[in-house]
Amino acid sequence: MINKEEVIRIYDLAHLNLEEDRVDILAEKYTKVLDFAELIMEVDTTDVKPLEMIQEEKAVFREDIPEESLDREKALENAKDREYGYFRLKKVID
């Protein structure tokens, strides 16, 4: 089950705004999704043959044209935190 603190932490890590009245609703929705995924993982598939679907469509690629990249300062102008000319990110995995 996803609790309120986990929902707040997820939104904080993603730098998303979260209204207080939505926390309980989101926790319930996340819990339903995870419960459903867990239910799917419990299905016995030992006698089920793998199915491969290969589409015969050709991928259309655009021509790779090198362009000048962004100036470092321009790229970092909206960074929440930076260090030594790079984005500085929060540690996500403990």
pLDDT score recorded for residue 29: 96
The tens digit of pLDDT for each residue in 46-64 reads: 998 888 877 788 888 889 9
Question: Is pTM beyond 0.75 here?
Answer: no
Cα 17 to Cα 14: distance, rounded to the nearest angstrom: 9
Cα 94 to Cα 87: distance, rounded to the nearest angstrom: 20
The tens digit of pLDDT for each residue in 18-54 reads: 999 999 999 999 999 999 999 999 999 999 888 887 7
The tens digit of pLDDT for each residue in 54-92 reads: 778 888 888 999 999 999 999 999 888 999 999 998 887
pLDDT score recorded for residue 8: 94
